[in-house]
Amino acid sequence: MKIIDKEILAIDTPRVMADYDIMLANIQMVHNHARRYMIDIKPHVKSHKCLDIARIQLDEGAIGLTAAKCDEAAVFFNGMCKSFTIAYPLVEHHKIQRILSSTKQFGLDMSLIVDSEEGFEAIALMAERQNVKVKIYLKIDVGLKRCGLPADDQRILKLSKKILEHKQLELTGLISHAGHVYRAKNIQEVIKIAQEELKILFSVRKLLLDFDIETRRISIGATPTLLTGIDLQGISEIRPGNYIFLDRLSWKLGLIAPEQIALTVMATVVSKNKSYFIVDAGSKVLSSDTGAHASKILEGYGLAYPAEKYLEEDYRMKITALSEEHGFVSRSGFDLPIGSRVRIIPNHACPVVNLTDSMVVHQKGMIKNVWKVHARGKVL
């Protein structure tokens, strides 16, 4: 069975495409896993930024949405759901003011995160001024060394107490992101990081319980750890983002088969030389990512196949370099005519979506729709 037919072969390139059926299967796979443990799903919208995909996630049982940026979240304050987490440390009055105004205006169930005294003080002040209830997750660093308090940091207890004592704030629980999992070399390392994450979070919960402080919820979120099918007992919520599309990175980590990758890019051979086919998708379409969180486990900038030979191993070509508007596809023993289409598996799906204004959604080889990337460019 050919995966694509002439309709998709004829689209103008470069074009970001999402396979509807694969995407739906990916969503259901992860949601079903969560359901087995009776835990909530609050997907991160950063990967799709698209109202249509959020709608599917909610229809498939998500209880709300997560975003990193206030402006990005605001695109989804349209009544489609009420529960939001801004999984990003807000530390400035004006940003908090804005998100809390929306919280009031739309009657949202809003969770924010705290990992510093400064963040706490800013949120506390603005919640008071606006007289609005805010749920607070303490952000715990589980190894990425980005945001979050290390498990042995005394501020965990101190901030927990302060949050508990504050009238407008509710200490909801602990939150983490094991982003360093994207630097793993194989599935064994992914599983180890996933287990370590839970161990750290449970130890912090126990520590707080020793001081009679209950952390009701534990929220984790990183697609690779979830794809290992890890035991999620004791977890309240997951916040995966990338799981809807998947990409070369999750394939390389051994977590998925390439047939599970929903996001690809169609491009055209516009020139060629002894070493390369030159295609019309460069870093302004594929991004220069060689992984996520500056992971460098991937060589090159994606995998390309002649579109009619998509996923046929003998026809796999590496994208060795990128200019802004050109991809250097290394030749692999066969020729391709100028003007022919290649289909590309990106290294990392999320920045690819962020670079386009819309995605072609296809199903069984037919173009089903064109979806806008509604929250693209909302960086504030």
Min dist. Cβ of residue 116 to its own copies (A): 5
146 interacts with its own copies by CB under 8 A: yes
C-alpha span between 16 and 260 (Å, rounded): 16
Comparing CB distances to its own copies, the nearer of 83 and 354 is: 354
Closest by alpha carbon to 111, among 91, 75, 131, 82? 82
Where are the strands (E) in the chain, listed by range?
Answer: 15-19, 40-41, 65-67, 83-89, 109-114, 134-139, 169-175, 217-220, 237-238, 263-272, 276-279, 303-306, 317-322, 327-330, 341-345, 358-363, 366-372
Contacts of residue 153, Cβ cutoff 8 Å, sequence gap at least 6: none
> Residue 118: helix, strand or coil by DSSP?
helix
Pairing mode, strands 276-279 and 263-272: antiparallel
C-alpha span between 54 and 70 (Å, rounded): 16
Size of the site for its own copies (CB under 8 A): 67
- Cα radius of gyration (the chain): 22
Among 3, 321, 365, 368, the residue binding its own copies under the rule CB under 8 A is: 321
Min dist. Cβ of residue 331 to its own copies (A): 12
32 interacts with its own copies by CB under 8 A: no
Of 90-98, 202-210, 231-239, 362-370: span binding its own copies (CB under 8 A): 90-98
131 interacts with its own copies by CB under 8 A: no
Closest by alpha carbon to 251, among 329, 303, 294? 303
323 interacts with its own copies by CB under 8 A: yes
Q: Mask: binding to its own copies, 284-303, rule CB under 8 A, as x and -?
A: xx-xxxx-xxx------x--
313 interacts with its own copies by CB under 8 A: no
Comparing CB distances to its own copies, the nearer of 95 and 374 is: 95
Among 74, 278, 304, 336, the residue binding its own copies under the rule CB under 8 A is: 278
335 interacts with its own copies by CB under 8 A: no
Comparing CB distances to its own copies, the nearer of 212 and 335 is: 335
250 interacts with its own copies by CB under 8 A: no
Min dist. Cβ of residue 117 to its own copies (A): 8
Q: Mask: binding to its own copies, 95-114, rule CB under 8 A, as x and -?
A: x-------------------
Of 28-36, 104-112, 224-232, 349-357: span binding its own copies (CB under 8 A): 349-357
Among 25, 257, 338, 366, the residue binding its own copies under the rule CB under 8 A is: 338
C-alpha span between 363 and 8 (Å, rounded): 10
245 interacts with its own copies by CB under 8 A: no
Contacts of residue 58, Cβ cutoff 8 Å, sequence gap at least 6: 65, 80, 81
**Interior angle at CA 10, CA 248 and CA 280, nearest 5:** 55
Of 6-14, 127-135, 308-316, 364-372: span binding its own copies (CB under 8 A): 6-14
Sheet holding 83-89, edge to edge: 40-41, 237-238, 217-220, 169-175, 134-139, 109-114, 83-89, 65-67
Comparing CB distances to its own copies, the nearer of 109 and 325 is: 325
Min dist. Cβ of residue 252 to its own copies (A): 17
Closest by alpha carbon to 249, among 213, 299, 209, 207? 299
Return the C-alpha torsion angle 136, 141, 147, 152, nearest 10: 80
Please report the sign of the dihedral spanned by the C-alpha atoms of residue 145, residue 146, residue 148, residue 154.
Answer: positive
Residues that bind its own copies (CB under 8 A): 12-15, 46, 68-69, 88-92, 94-95, 115-116, 118-119, 122, 141, 145-148, 150, 179, 268-273, 275-276, 278, 280, 283-285, 287-290, 292-294, 301, 320-326, 328, 337-339, 350-351, 354-357, 377, 379-380
